[in-house]
Amino acid sequence: MAQSTTQHAAIFGKCSTLQCNPTPDGGCIVKPTTSSQVSEFLQAVSPLVLGGKLKFTIRDGGTQLAPDGQQFPSEVLVLDLGEMKGVQIGIDDTITVAAGEKWASVNQKLDTHGISVAGGLNGGRGIGRLALQGGLSLFSSSQGFVADNVANYEIVLPSGKTINASPSEHVDLWRSLKGGSNNYGIQALVDLLHSPTEGRELRIILSTLFSAQFGGIVSLNRVYHTTGREDAPETQPFTRVGPRVGNLTSLGHVTVSNATADPKDVVGSQRRAHIDMTVKADVVTLQAATDIFMWTLDPIKGLDDSRFVASILFETLSTSLIKGSSESRNLFGLDPSAGPLISLSFVIKWTSKKDDKAILDHFHKVMENIKKYAVSRGTAIPLAHTGVFRKGIATTFSLFP
């Protein structure tokens, strides 16, 4: 505790416009509002980080303070970008968004102008993470990953210098940021391309979940279609599945803002974990994954938590998505000949910190069992835990070498 307090005091003695927001355990959260303050922060922490005397982590506008619902040690300084706000509509088919915005707030503003961008499906998430790490949107089949739709990044380098990376300047960095996570600098602003207003787009998310509230297993299909027809032929295999739970069934027109509303307003759980891997679009593998997930739920069902929800989700990575993404020369390394693929993920939500270890240990083990099965069947894709959809990709470059 004393060591971290001394380190933090040394940093803020060098920062004229930043201050520490203390946490109950003696930690420190820094909340810049501008890229110049991010620059000031990096210049102050660089000597300590390079000397091995300090660790810090970056939080965008929507992620939890720590991954998987855990808490960072008090000596880890948190750079929270959540106060960096702003959404500006340009005249050049781009939308400029500050790093601290959530997708829900971005889509709400764009809805009022009748436009949209290829943004995250979970409105509660911050824009920074997906703009750097991949991300799926309602428009992914035709427009690729969220990162494929970034026209420009405003990045603060480890030196504190702020630059733009785009197709016309620092082109190699622009390409590397599309999947490179925060290994190259800290994202302050991002320019996103408008999504087209015409065209046929189909997005399907299939999930099977256990809900303590319902006391059982429920299958949930989320189907989005852009033609305006409420019961388009290509959606019927998913919208007409039965039997149905009446009050959970709806079919109608929604805006992008409605479709990507912040789920925290509905769920109410305080803790959340996301675990994922990627597999080939093989029915036997997907059925086996679902079976493994459901058969191993018994040890977790007994938790005293009425808000506990555990889901297994399947999201498609179409061949057209993979082809378009590979042509944008990002770092994902996806081969169109391997497609179509499926992003297989667990989303777990619960209330109490005391259940963290039991829940996380259980579901990491379950995912490893699914991975072993997929490997044995030859359907595993080695993107899984390097994290096209979660924690960035493996790279030899880091923010501080």
Does 391 fall in a domain?
Answer: no
pLDDT at position 392, please? 30
Please report, for residues 65, 92, 124, 214, 330, the alpha-carbon distance to residue 302 in angstroms, rounded to integers and kept in the order given: 27, 55, 28, 14, 44
Does 397 fall in a domain?
Answer: no
What's the CA gap between 227 and 207, in Å, rounded? 24
Residue 223 and residue 317 in one domain: yes
pLDDT at position 267, please? 42
Residue 360 and residue 228 in one domain: yes
Structure tokens belonging to residue 117: 């961008």
Of 139, 159, 193, the last residue of a domain is 193
Q: What is the pLDDT along the chain (401 residues), one digit of tens a residue?
A: 334 555 565 566 555 667 777 666 667 788 899 999 999 988 888 888 878 777 777 877 655 444 444 455 556 778 888 899 999 988 777 899 998 888 888 888 888 888 888 887 777 778 877 788 777 887 777 777 888 888 999 999 888 899 999 989 998 888 888 877 667 888 888 898 887 655 566 777 888 888 888 778 887 777 777 766 666 777 777 777 766 666 666 666 666 776 667 655 444 446 888 888 889 999 999 999 999 999 988 888 878 888 899 999 998 888 877 776 666 656 666 777 777 889 899 989 898 888 888 999 999 999 999 999 999 999 998 753 333 333 332 333 334 43
Of 144, 163, 193, the last residue of a domain is 193
Residue 230 and residue 343 in one domain: yes
Query: Among residues 11, 103, 12, 29, which one has the least CA distance to residue 66?
Result: 29
In contact, 190 and 96? CB cutoff 8 Å: yes
Residue 159 and residue 92 in one domain: yes
In contact, 29 and 21? CB cutoff 8 Å: yes
Phi, psi of 277 (to 5 degrees): -155, 175
Give the CATH number of the domain where residue 174 resides.
3.30.465.10
Residue 151 and residue 297 in one domain: no
- Encode 253-282: b = buried (16+ Cβ within 10 Å), e = exposed: eeebbeebbbbbeeeebebbbbbbbbbbbb
Residue 226 and residue 307 in one domain: yes
Residue 134 and residue 187 in one domain: yes
Range of the domain at 230: 202-386
Residue 182 and residue 262 in one domain: no
The burial of 53, by beta-carbon neighbours within 10 Å (0-12 exposed, 13-18 middle, 19 or more buried), is given as middle
Query: Among residues 220, 152, 156, which one has the least CA distance to residue 186?
Result: 156
pLDDT at position 292, please? 95
In contact, 32 and 38? CB cutoff 8 Å: yes
What's the domain count of the chain?
Answer: 3
Of 165, 193, 221, the last residue of a domain is 193
What's the CA gap between 361 and 69, in Å, rounded? 13
Residue 225 and residue 328 in one domain: yes
Residue with tokens 């891997």: 277
pLDDT at position 138, please? 78
pTM of the shown model:
0.78
Does 395 fall in a domain?
Answer: no
Residue 253 and residue 294 in one domain: yes
DSSP, collapsed to helix, strand or coil, labels residue 261 as coil
In contact, 347 and 68? CB cutoff 8 Å: no
pLDDT at position 176, please? 82
Give the CATH number of the domain where residue 341 resides.
3.40.462
pLDDT at position 198, please? 58
Residue 330 and residue 361 in one domain: yes
Residue 59 and residue 104 in one domain: no
Does 393 fall in a domain?
Answer: no
Residue with tokens 């490997």: 375
Does 236 fall in a domain?
Answer: yes
Give the CATH number of the domain where residue 38 resides.
3.30.43
Does 401 fall in a domain?
Answer: no
Does 158 fall in a domain?
Answer: yes
Residue with tokens 């619902």: 69
